[in-house]
A and B are shown apart, each in its own frame.
Chain A
Amino acid sequence: MPRPDSAGPDTKKRGGLQHAGRPGLIWSVPALLFFALFAIAPLGVALYLSFTDYQGIPVVPPEWVGLENWARLFDDAALHRAIGVTVILIVLAVVTQVPISLLIGVWAAGPQRGRAIVVTLYFIPLLMSSAAITVLFASLVDPNFGIPATMREVFNLPADNIFSNLLGNPTTAIGVIAFIYLWGSSPLHTLIYQGGARQIPEILYQAAALDGAGRVRTFFSITIPQLKNTIVTSTIIMVVGTFTSFDIILLLTRGGPSGATSNLPYFMYDKGIASLDFGYGSVVAVVLIVLAMLVSILMVKATGYDKLEGSQEGIG
């Protein structure tokens, strides 16, 4: 309960100080400079390079070729496939990571001591670099010395089974990639949901209990609506993060088998850095940024996240 005498009368006497405390345009200069230097400027260079023929040798400056690189966009089947792979990975990330993170996050928000220990163990992947995680999984999925070989022995499976060629089969290869992302990044989202769930006022649950709502009903009628903004935040981070995912693919499959796991960032690396075709690589980079921004804006608009509506009006 605010006390009327604590802030109100003082503000007039110390008007100057109050004014100084307000964020002005000048406050944003460091962030803007940082943003301009590391985001806008490289973006501008990428846009410029996309209209040139450049092999990455500074002594041979980029040669202006107009729309030549851009024209290649439309009949490049490998690029279209990469866009498809990117979308599949995003869909897989959302449908696996959101429910799992939400359920575990809400569970972890409970007060019991045992949960803290389990949750701490669950957060361990957050401490590991994704490169280390990938090397670990590369050994695990090795067809002759990893889990597939053990499964074959334990369950007496035929030599040619669904686990025996995990990285060589297009479907299972993308499944393995999605699983590693699930394993590596769902703890972060669980953490976000845990924080969000702890913010839900206890009084809502007490009221629901009085009305005779069970656990499932409470979850869908109280927890999920109260976590709406958390879900949107977490999902946007997830989608944008998956859009730019690259490390695991480079280390585990190099886009294989036959391009089945080559998403847009890997495709960009393949064309730009590995094949030293900086012009076309930059085209892919620009396409990637535009697509990711569009998706991000669409998600913000569609969910009403930009209006910052509160979900706790009338409580407290």
Chain B
Amino acid sequence: MNSRTIRLAAAGSALAVVGALAGCSGSSDSSDASGSAQASGDTSEASIAGWTPNEGRPEGEIHVLVFSDSVAEVERAAAERFNETSDIKVVIDEGASAGVEYNTQVRTQIGTDSAPDIFMSWGSAGIQPLVDADALLPLDSFIEDDPMLQDAFLPSVFNEEVIDGSAYGIPMRGVAPEFLYYNTDVLADAGLEPPTSWEDFKSQIPVLQDAGYIPVALAGADKWPDMIWFQFLYARYLGNDAVAQGLAGDTSVWESDGSKAALAELKDLVDMGAFGSNFASQSYGGDGTAALLRNGLAAYELMGSWHYGTVKGDAESVDNLGWVAFPDFTEGDGLDGEIAGNLSNFYNVAADTRYPEAVAGFLAELYGDEFLNGQLSFGNVPPTTNAADLIAASDLDEGSKAHATFVVDLVESAPTFQLSWDQVVPASAQTASQDATADFFNGAIDDQGFIDAWNAVVTSE
């Protein structure tokens, strides 16, 4: 009887354990800012706005919580370089390798003695609650002392984490716009060329079906790939400026005729079988859609620039992969060449860090050539103004170089760059936003159902 009840209660209240742990460790006191600054032996730091040092943090160390995927290697190398010359050492803490778990780690630790000094975020919506809680350090004084912390980066990327005039994040991973990938062999076999317009693209779909291919691979089981199609159809019908207003809570955008036209076009694509009949079973991870494209089962896939590395896998090169910007429309209010995707990831700093000067020193690694070349070696195009030069001078293979150059050109020539919708909506509505797009593709809701669901997403708090 006991053991059964324990199992029950333990499983049912896993949530509460997280809450309880967080509550227990959240009692650290960091109120005595001026006294602490003197204790650390550096009175000049007391002037940093928003800084409330916590002397309970480890002495002589700054902790960086890395997102533990393969690219974290570049951050570990940066820490080693920094530690060669610094008395205050960077300690790398291995974080989760899934976004949801990583964010939960950051949130439940922040403000405690064992919280990381530096951690990663995906954009302003994710850090807004931490900014509201005064838990993040504004980086403006760092930038005053070292303007390269801002000037090295593309303004469209850097400004994402500028909130109410203060900068909170330094970009640190690749810029990842989304565009069409295609299998060159499949297109050649069907006698087609990469599309030059939306009408051209749509006319290719029945041709590809007749030739026995899935026209467009779509990892519908993961939900977020569905959303990419919404991002581009809305960019073409409404323009990204209107989309941004809509994402900020203006429900009239989603009710508009342009919105309904975009939804009708998406529905048309699904109904004509552009994505095949089983996209809702298809996943992205575990070599899902990448294998469809690589092995010539599908012709196209709309995906972010990280897809190049995914399709390439462990192979030396990938010869049958092509890429082209999302086609432009002859109708619609959007500008030609408007894009969407992930801007970058950002490093944020805890407001109660003990050693802000050392933190600023470590952040300077993020625009150094060694760090940026490290990102390039993983296929990440740095969101920096010198990215094109870095790529030209790098020792990447020809295919990777061509791909990286395409990404840089695409970003630089785009009139607007809309951050992926699920990264813009409040964190509490993120899964609801992914569900709404997937439900529309699955046919579980119609256009009015999507508009209602989406209005609820953008107006939630």
Q: Across the interface, do B4 and A236 meet the contact criterion of CB distance under 8 Å?
A: yes
- Other-chain contact of B221, A57, A167, A244 (Cβ < 8 Å): A167
B442 at the A interface (CB under 8 A) = yes
Taking a contact as CB atoms under 8 Å apart, the answer to whether B8 and A240 are in contact is yes
Q: Is A131 in the interface zone, CB < 8 Å from B?
A: no
Which residues of A have CB within 8 Å of B277? Answer: 159-160, 164-165
B458 to chain A, nearest CB (A): 15
B6 interface contact, C-beta 8 A: yes
Return chain A residues, CB-CB under 8 Å to B103: 276
Q: How far is the CA of A267 from the CA of B429 in the complex (A)?
A: 14
Look across to chain B and name the residue whose beta carbon is closest to the beta carbon of A270.
B431
Q: Hey, which chain A residues are within 8 Å of B23, CB to CB?
A: 45, 58
Assess the B15–A282 pair: CB atoms within 8 A.
yes
Is A209 an interface residue when CB atoms closer than 8 A count as contact?
no
Asked whether B428 lies within 8 Å of A277 as measured between CB atoms, the reply is: yes
Cβ-based interface call for A190 (8 A) = no
Q: Are B438 and A55 in contact (CB under 8 A)?
A: no
Pick from B22, B221, B279, B431: contact of A56, CB below 8 A. Answer: B22
With a CB–CB cut-off of 8 A, which chain B residues contact A169? 280
Interface range on chain A (Cβ under 8 Å from partner): 35 or more
| Contact of A289 (CB < 8 Å), options: B8, B292, B429 | B8
Question: Is B282 an interface residue, CB under 8 A from the partner?
Answer: yes
Question: At the interface with chain B, which of A140-148, A199-207, A223-231?
Answer: A140-148
> Min CB distance, B364 to chain A, in Å?
28
Whether B438 pairs with A289 at a CB distance below 8 angstroms is: no
By the criterion CB–CB under 8 Å, are A145 and B291 in contact?
A: yes
Main SS class of interface, B: helix
Neighbour of A43 across the interface among B13, B18, B133, B220, CB < 8 A: B13
> B281 — which chain A residues lie within 8 A by C-beta?
141-143, 164-168
From A35, A275, A278, A285, B12 is in contact (CB under 8 Å) with A285
Segment with Cβ contacts to B, from A63-71, A118-126, A211-219, A251-259: A251-259
Is the C-beta of B63 less than 8 angstroms from some C-beta in chain A?
Answer: no
Asked if A244 and B12 sit within 8 Å, CB to CB, the answer is yes
Shortest beta-carbon distance, A132 to chain B, in Å? 13
Could you say which of B14, B129, B283 has the most chain A C-beta atoms within 10 Å of its C-beta? B14
Cβ of A46 under 8 Å from chain B: yes
Contacting residues, chain A, for B278 (C-beta < 8 A)? 143-144, 148, 164-165, 168
Asked if B157 is at the interface of the complex by the 8 Å CB criterion, the answer is: no
- Min distance, Cβ B356 to any Cβ of chain A, angstroms: 18
Q: Does A288 touch B at the CB level, under 8 Å?
A: yes
Chain A residues, CB < 8 A from B288 = 142
Q: Check A42–B13 contact: CB distance below 8 A.
A: yes
A296 at the binding interface (Cβ < 8 Å): yes
- B455 interfacial by beta-carbon distance below 8 Å: no
Is A256's CB under 8 angstroms from B15's CB? no
Whether B6 pairs with A167 at a CB distance below 8 angstroms is no
The answer to whether the Cβ of A26 comes within 8 Å of any Cβ in the partner chain is no
CA distance A273 to B16 in the complex (A): 10
Give Cα A167–Cα B277 distance, bound, in whole angstroms.
12
Task: Say yes or no: A49 contacts B430, CB within 8 Å.
Answer: no
User: In A31-75, which residues have CB < 8 Å from any B CB?
Assistant: 31, 34-35, 38-46, 49, 54-62
A residues near B20, Cβ cutoff 8 Å: 41-42, 45
Taking A141-B281, A240-B4 as contacts, is the C-beta distance between A39 and B10 under 8 angstroms? yes
Compute how far the CA of A286 lies from the CA of B19 in the bound complex, rounded to whole angstroms. Answer: 14
8 A Cβ contacts from B20-39 to A:
20, 22-23, 25-26
Whether the Cβ atoms of A282 and B428 lie closer than 8 Å is no
Given A55-B129, A144-B297, A275-B432 contact (CB < 8 Å): yes
CA of A57 to CA of B10 in the docked complex: distance in angstroms?
Answer: 22
User: How big is chain B's contact interface, by range?
Assistant: 35 or more
Interchain nearest-CB distance for A45 vs B (Å): 4
B112 at the interface (CB under 8 A from A): yes
Q: Is B165 an interface position by the 8 A CB rule? A: no
Is there an interface contact between A276 and B104, defined as CB atoms closer than 8 Å? yes
Tell whether B286 is near chain A: CB-to-CB under 8 Å.
yes
In the complex formed, the residue of A with least CB distance to B212 is A159
Contact B10 A42 (CB under 8 A): yes
Query: Within the assembled complex, what's the spacing in Å between the Cα atoms of A40 and B5?
Result: 10
Q: Which A residue's beta carbon lies closest to that of B280?
A: A168
**How near does chain A come to B50, taking the closest CB pair, in angstroms?**
13
Q: Is A311 an interface residue (CB 8 A)?
A: no
Does B100 belong to the interface (CB within 8 Å)? yes
Q: Is A303 on the interface with B (CB-CB < 8 A)? A: no
Q: Is the CB of A258 within 8 A of B435?
A: yes
Q: Is the CB of B108 closer than 8 A to any CB of chain A?
A: yes
A42, A166, A270 pick with most chain B CB within 10 angstroms: A42
| In-complex Cβ contact of B13 among A31, A135, A285 (8 A) | A285
Whether B8 pairs with A276 at a CB distance below 8 angstroms is no
- Compute how far the CA of A135 lies from the CA of B8 in the bound complex, rounded to whole angstroms: 26
Q: Is the CB of B7 within 8 A of A268?
A: no
Whether B444 sits at the interface, judged by CB under 8 Å, is yes
Rounded to whole Å, the gap between the CB of A137 and the closest CB of chain B is 11
In the complex with contacts A35-B2, A58-B108, A145-B291, A168-B442 CB distance below 8 A: yes
Partner of A58, one of B5, B111, B430: B111
Chain A residues within an 8 Å CB radius of B108: 56-58
A168 near B279 with CB under 8 A, answer yes
Complex contacts, B297 vs chain A, CB 8 Å: 144
Is B302 located at the chain interface by the 8 A CB criterion?
A: no
CB-CB under 8 A from A98, the residues of chain B are none
* Most-contacted residue by chain B among A56, A244, A278, A282 (CB, 10 A): A56
Q: Which residues of B contact A286 (CB under 8 A)?
A: 12
CB distance from B26 to the nearest CB of A (A): 3
Lowest 8 CB-CB distances: which A-B pairs, in order?
A168-B280, A58-B26, A46-B16, A59-B111, A39-B9, A258-B444, A244-B11, A289-B12
A-B contact pairs, 14 of them (CB 8 A): A39-B10, A41-B20, A43-B9, A45-B16, A144-B291, A160-B277, A164-B278, A168-B280, A236-B4, A240-B8, A257-B444, A258-B444, A268-B15, A276-B103
Residues of chain A whose beta carbon lies under 8 Å from any beta carbon of chain B = 31, 34-35, 38-46, 49, 54-62, 135, 138-139, 141-145, 148, 159-160, 164-169, 236-237, 240, 243-244, 246, 253-254, 256-259, 265, 268, 270, 272-278, 281-282, 285-286, 288-289, 292-293, 296
